[in-house]
């Protein structure tokens, strides 16, 4: 575990201990007493240099589990049967809840058709994928693909926080860049310093104009009959610095053109020969798909990716989104 994460966990444990002591003054219950003992034991393990080691095998406990619950004392391999069942039930519930946060499949809004592929590497995902249809004819379709640092439960919790933050800010009809900067400050103030999120988001207007803000995420791609062009990333990821500034750019998608967003779990994947799929292959493949619908484009991209990886197990979450301006306007 990184030194910064270790220091943050120590700080969290001391803060929790102070809250438990305050609660004990009002009413000392068996639960409060037990939690105080567990926190004290964890702080003692930190002083002894054994914190984060499994009490059974002495191997490191999974970092994402410690970040989610700093009191855990066993690695996944040495949970009791009851603990394993409880964890499986929690992960299943978390997976179903996260699935409920995903937008509608193949959503259409005015001249825009959309499609996406979203698949966690494990039970839950740290990728953020969202589409919010306009409330009125003049409102822009909001789209977003993001990637939270780390994996597992801790990353999934931050992903759900991003979802809630943007849903709230957009409901307030906040301009795009202002919403991104508000989300950045909220993440800085409410999450550990080791956690951050890259994000590519924007609005697609009925006129064909697209506003795009990229906060340290993979470059967006424009796909059309003339090939593929890259929109370079700019700006810092969310959650690194509270006062960092962000900007947006604007472009016009012509009828039949698509905007493609993806997470690096797609391009960083390897095949059995340890070759990387890479952004160049993705661009070359998409260049042949300029006439496809959003749904067909996503399907073609994922089929090419699956052919390349050849069934090699995923090591990261994967997201791919296509937003296409209908060619019917021609």
Q: How far apart are CA 47 and CA 30, in angstroms?
A: 26
Taking the C-alpha atoms of residue 87 and residue 83, their distance in angstroms, rounded to an integer, is 6
The answer on pLDDT for 257 being more than 80 is yes
With a CB cutoff of 8 Å and minimum separation 6, the contacts of 305 are 266, 269, 277
The answer to whether the beta carbons of residues 232 and 219 sit under 8 Å apart is: yes
Q: What is the pLDDT of residues 118-166, one digit of tens each?
A: 999 888 888 999 999 876 545 689 999 999 987 777 788 888 888 888 8
Q: Name the least confident of 69-73, 134-138, 245-249, 315-319.
A: 134-138
Euclidean distance between CA atoms 266 and 285, whole angstroms: 13
Q: Name the residue with higher pLDDT: 68 or 311.
A: 311
Residue by residue, what is the 3-state secondary structure of 142-179? EEEEEEECCCHHHHHHHHHHHHHHHHHHHHCCCCHHHH
Average pLDDT over residues 94-119: 88
Q: Residue 84 above 50 pLDDT? A: yes
Q: What is the pLDDT of residue 142?
A: 94
- The alpha carbons of the chain give a radius of gyration, in whole angstroms, of 22
Strand duo 197-204 + 209-215: pairing: antiparallel
Q: Which carries the bigger pLDDT value, residue 263 or residue 314?
A: 263
Instruction: Quote the pTM value.
Output: 0.77
What pLDDT does 330 receive? 47
What's the CA gap between 181 and 127, in Å, rounded? 19
CA distance 302 to 321: 11
Going along the chain from its start, the domains and CATH numbers come out as 3-79 (1.20.120.910), 96-329 (3.60.40.10)
Q: What percent of the chain has pLDDT over 90?
A: 46
In this model, does residue 4 exceed pLDDT 60?
yes
pLDDT at 138: 57
């Amino acid at each position: 575990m990184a030194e910064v994460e270790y220091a943050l966990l120590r700080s969290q444990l001391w803060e929790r201990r102070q809250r438990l002591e305050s609660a004990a003054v009002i009413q000392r219950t068996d639960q409060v007493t037990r939690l105080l003992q567990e926190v004290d034991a964890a702080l003692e393990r930190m002083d002894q240099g054994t914190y984060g080691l499994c009490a059974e095998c002495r191997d490191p406990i999974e970092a994402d589990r410690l970040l989610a619950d700093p009191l855990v004392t066993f690695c996944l391999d040495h949970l009791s049967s009851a603990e394993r069942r409880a964890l499986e039930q929690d992960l299943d519930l978390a997976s179903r809840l996260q699935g409920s946060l995903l937008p509608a499949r193949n959503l259409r809004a005015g001249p825009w058709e959309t499609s996406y592929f979203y698949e966690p590497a494990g039970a839950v995902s740290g990728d953020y994928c969202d589409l919010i249809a306009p409330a009125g004819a003049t409102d822009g379709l909001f789209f977003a693909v993001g990637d939270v640092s780390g994996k597992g439960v801790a990353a999934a919790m931050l992903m759900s926080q991003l979802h809630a933050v943007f849903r709230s800010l957009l409901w307030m009809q906040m301009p795009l860049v202002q919403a991104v900067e508000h989300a950045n400050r909220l993440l800085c103030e409410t999450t550990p310093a080791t956690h951050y999120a890259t994000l590519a988001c924007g609005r697609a207007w009925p006129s064909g104009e697209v506003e795009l803000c990229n906060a340290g995420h993979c470059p967006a791609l424009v796909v059309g009959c003339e090939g593929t062009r890259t929109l370079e990333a700019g700006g810092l990821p969310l959650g690194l610095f509270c006062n960092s500034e962000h900007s947006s750019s604007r472009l016009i998608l012509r009828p039949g053109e698509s905007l493609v967003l993806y997470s690096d779990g797609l391009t960083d994947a390897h095949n059995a020969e340890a070759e990387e799929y890479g952004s160049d292959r993705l661009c070359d493949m998409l260049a042949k798909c300029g006439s496809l619908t959003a749904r067909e484009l996503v399907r073609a991209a994922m089929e090419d990716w699956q052919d390349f990886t050849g069934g090699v197990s995923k090591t990261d979450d994967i997201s791919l989104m296509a937003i296409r301006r209908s060619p019917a306007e021609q």
